[in-house]
Amino acid sequence: MQTTVPPPFSCTYTPSLPELLRKLGCTIALSTFQAGKVILLSAKNDDELTQLPRNFAKPMGIALHGNKMAIACLDEVIVLANSPELATHYPNKPGTYDALYMPRASYFTGQIDIHDLDYGANDQLFAVNTSFSCIIKIDDNYSFTPIWKPKFISKLVSEDRCHLNGMALQNGQPKYVTAFHDTNTMQGWRDRVVDGGIVMDVVTGEIIARDLAMPHSPRLFDGQLFLLLSATGQLVKLDENSGKYELVTQLNGFVRGLCRHGDYAFIGHSKLRKSSSTFAKLKFAENATMAGVSVVHLPTGALVGEIRYQTSVDEIYDVQVLPHCQRPGILNTQKPEYKLGLSTPVATYWAAPKPE
């Protein structure tokens, strides 16, 4: 008996999810470093989702600010800018997109294993440099400029000493970070990978919570600190004074990638690599079979929607929401068409491709 294999990037989703995205007027953007894609998921109508996968080299953190999107990739940070005008007249699909993110700059950082990425004050790009265990600024002066490291890290060296991964900004500056352990040796965090996680206050340099289950994606929502405990599949709200946390919702899987739009949290899920000795230590390893996105109503903690990938996507790093974008497009630098979209402060042009 012949079985039909779903096409690449096939997914199923909760029937009510397209209508919710239309009501919210937004699109979900996710990065999957395993598949080498940034994927935009939009509502085609009240009943259908449509998605646009684009190739990027090991995409991780996604930062949004105004009309800009920055993507942390294998050895560079690519900055894109949205041009609704170019979108309208996009030659390949005219009249299809209401936004079009075009590559406009690239910072060549080298392979420093950037995880979280965010825009701060004065359009400054901040990033978590996991390889060197520090927070960095990204600009055109250096590969990276370190601005903070944990007190327990004795020197900057490419050894991933504590698996610093997540970052939350407050008033345009880094405020909280997550790491897998407060170790100061090469990949020393692996000894307590499941339950040695910490949250730190960047301003005071103090550890404000310990013994966490693989903390990721710290985010400040209305002044309250939320984060994901990947090893237990939980979204929690942390009291930075006591170090204790309150469970917001329990999800059955490995969660990583968190953002909010209105009253809704969008949370990424990853399948666990069966070949990984690290993931094999997790209690729910056999049940963590979903890759996709869960949508949670934050005031109640209720699960209101899910996207589940059937093919191609196994691991997700970041999830962001593009507001005011019902059907955005995005171009990368791997095909020459991005060079044809020209923007100026007063006009836009699509240049005709030169004949070969």
Both tokens of 196, joined, read 């040695």
Do residues 240 and 227 make contact, with C-beta atoms less than 8 angstroms apart?
no
User: Is residue 293 predicted with pLDDT exceeding 70?
Assistant: yes
Find, among 185, 186, 216, the residue nearest to 198 by Cα: 216
Q: Is 341 a residue whose pLDDT tops 60?
A: yes
pLDDT for 181-236, tens place per residue? 999 999 999 999 999 999 999 999 999 999 999 999 999 999 999 999 999 999 99
Q: What share of the chain is helix, strand, coil (3-state, %, to 5)?
A: 10, 45, 45
pLDDT at 60: 98
What integer pLDDT is reported at residue 3 of this predicted model? 64
Identify the band that residue 120 occupies on the pLDDT scale cut at 50, 70 and 90: very high
CB-based contact 102:147 (threshold 8 Å): no
Characterize the bridge pairing of strands 134-138 and 11-13.
unpaired
Phi/psi for 317 (5° steps) reads -100, -60
- Asked if pLDDT for residue 4 goes beyond 90, the answer is no
The residue type of 262 is G
Q: How far is CA 186 from the centre of its chain?
A: 25
How long is the chain?
Answer: 356
Full 3-state SS string of 220-279: EECCEEEEEECCCCEEEEECCCCCCEEEEEECCCEEEEEEEECCEEEEEEECCCCCCCCH
Residue identified by tokens 């289950």 is: 213
Q: Give CA–CA dist 321/262, Å, rounded.
A: 11
Other C-beta atoms within 10 Å of 82: how many?
Answer: 24
- The predicted structure's pLDDT at residue 289: 83
pLDDT score of 283 more than 90: no
pLDDT of 239: 97
What is residue 286's predicted lDDT score, i.e. its pLDDT? 66
pLDDT-derived band at 6, boundaries 50, 70, 90:
confident
For residue 345, the SS3 value is coil
Q: What is the pLDDT of residue 276?
A: 61
In this predicted structure, the answer to whether residue 278 has a pLDDT above a threshold of 70 is no
Confidence of residue 282 (pLDDT cuts 50, 70, 90): low
3-state secondary structure of 98: coil
Q: How many CA atoms lie within 13 A of 291 on its CB side?
A: 23
Q: How far is CA 107 from CA 36, 58, 63, in A?
A: 19, 15, 14
pLDDT of residue 119: 98
Q: Give the pLDDT of residue 339.
A: 95
Q: Which of 289, 310, 288, 306 is nearest to 297 (CA)?
A: 306
∠ Cα 325 89 56 (to 5°): 60
Structure tokens at 2: 């012949």
Q: What percent of the chain has pLDDT over 90?
A: 91
Question: How many Å apart are CA 300 and CA 265, to the nearest integer?
Answer: 11
Residue ranges and CATH numbers for the domains of the chain are 11-350 (2.120.10.30)
Nearest to 256 by CA among 270, 277, 244, 273: 270
